Amino acid sequence: MNLRHSTALRAVAYGTFYRLPLVLRRRIVRAVVPKYVVGSVVFVHDSEAPAPGRLLLLRQPPGVSWTLPAGLLQRREAPIDGALRELHEETGLKLSRADLVPATPNAIVHAKGWVDMCYHAFVPASTAPVRADGAEVLELRWFALDDLPKLSPATGRLLGMFGIGPAAAPGAVPAIPARG
């Protein structure tokens, strides 16, 4: 098949597709396009800690490794609102939209089919009202960025993408915005 013939077939296919009712086009797209699960993750930094800084991590069942506050978005929930909801549910911290700084990059697309929308928050550890509920979260603790505990594989990879932890590229500078 030559290029001209291939282009003509694609033009016919697209022309036919765009003549279909919108509802039917959406169903076709949902059936054909890969599905992604979207969640929000919050890097909670201790605003009082000297360099290199400290991060709030949590241990969830089964309790063998540490993770970041995170969770899946609810239907039609904005990523920043999902981040705030999950942060409150998992740590007890009640922050506002203005308290979250979008990470750079803000969206991390993982090969296994999920997307993490990432945010930074800066809170004073000495007065932050954090709490573990004992069910979803077994323990919360602040850790120095240069002395992190055993991380879940997904958390280790995610932190590494931001230049933090053992999975960071050698010599990488952590991608942390200026403290709020």
| Start-end of H helices in 20-129 | 22-32, 79-91
| Rounded (5°) CA angle 114-115-119 | 145
- The alpha carbon of 138 is separated from its chain's Cα centroid by a whole number of angstroms, namely 21
pTM: 0.80
pLDDT at 14 over 70: no
Phi, psi dihedral angles at 87 (to 5 degrees): -60, -45
Query: For residue range 72-89, what is the model confidence (pLDDT) as tens digits?
Result: 998 889 999 999 999 999
Looking at 132-136, 147-151, 154-158, which range is the least confident one? 132-136
Average pLDDT over residues 156-163: 92
**Domains, the chain, ordered by start:** 3-32 (no CATH), 37-161 (3.90.79.10)
Query: For residue range 83-110, what is the model confidence (pLDDT) as tens digits?
Result: 999 999 999 999 999 999 999 999 988 8
